[in-house]
Amino acid sequence: MENTADSRAPPTIFASSPGRARQSVSVPARGGVQCVTLGGMSVIRAASLHPITGQGSVYWPLATPSNGAAELIVARVAKAPGQPGSIHSHDHEEVVVALIGTATAVLDRQETEKTELSAGDVLIIPAGQLHQVSASGDQGFECIIAKPAGTHFYDASGQVMSTPSWMA
C-alpha cells in the first residue's frame, strides 16, 4: 500500500478516558499524525491523516494503535465504483457504518447470503464470519470500519493473512 493525498479528509476524531482533568498538551506526531491531548482525551487532526491506497480502496486510519488508540481500530474506507472487497474473516467482531453510496455484503461467498448497504446502514459482522463488502452502483462506497486492536485476518481457506501495517 502506498500513501496518497486525497482532498476528502474525514473530520477531527476524538478519543476519551473518563475521570481525567481537561488540560491541553501537544503530543509529538505518531506515525506522522498530529495529536493534541486534552487531559485524558486525544484529538487527531484531520489535516494530519495520511490516506493509504490498496486493493482498489483508500483508507484513512482514524484511530489505530499506530496513532495512539489502545483498544480499537477505526478507519474510513472509500471503494471505487464496482470495486470488490477481499473475501476474509476476523477473529473479532467488525462493525461497518455506511456513509456514502451503496455496497453489497456477501457472506460465505454465497450469492444467496447477501444484502445491500446504503448510507446510514450498519453491518455487524461476527467473529469468524467469512464476508466480502464490495462497492455497487456508480457512486462508489464510503464507510467507517471498527474492530478491536490486534484483530487477525483470515482468507477464504482459513489461512492467516497479513495485517496491514497501518492497523498495527
Residues 6+ apart with CB under 8 A from 8: 78
Report whether pLDDT(151) > 60. Answer: yes
- What integer is the mean pLDDT of 153-163? 93
Per-residue pLDDT tens digits for 109-146: 777 788 999 999 999 999 999 999 999 988 999 999 99
Instruction: Please check the confidence at residue 59 and state whether its pLDDT lies above 90.
Output: yes
Class of CATH domain 2-8+51-167: mainly beta
**pLDDT tens for each residue of 79-118:** 999 888 889 999 999 999 999 999 999 988 777 788 999 9
Of the candidates 68, 81, 86, which has an alpha carbon nearest to the alpha carbon of residue 25?
68
pLDDT bucket at 14, cuts 50 / 70 / 90? very low
Q: Tell me if the pTM is above 0.75.
A: yes
What region, left, alpha or beta, does residue 62 occupy, with left being phi > 0 and alpha being psi -120 to 50 degrees?
Answer: alpha
Domains of the chain by residue range = 2-8+51-167
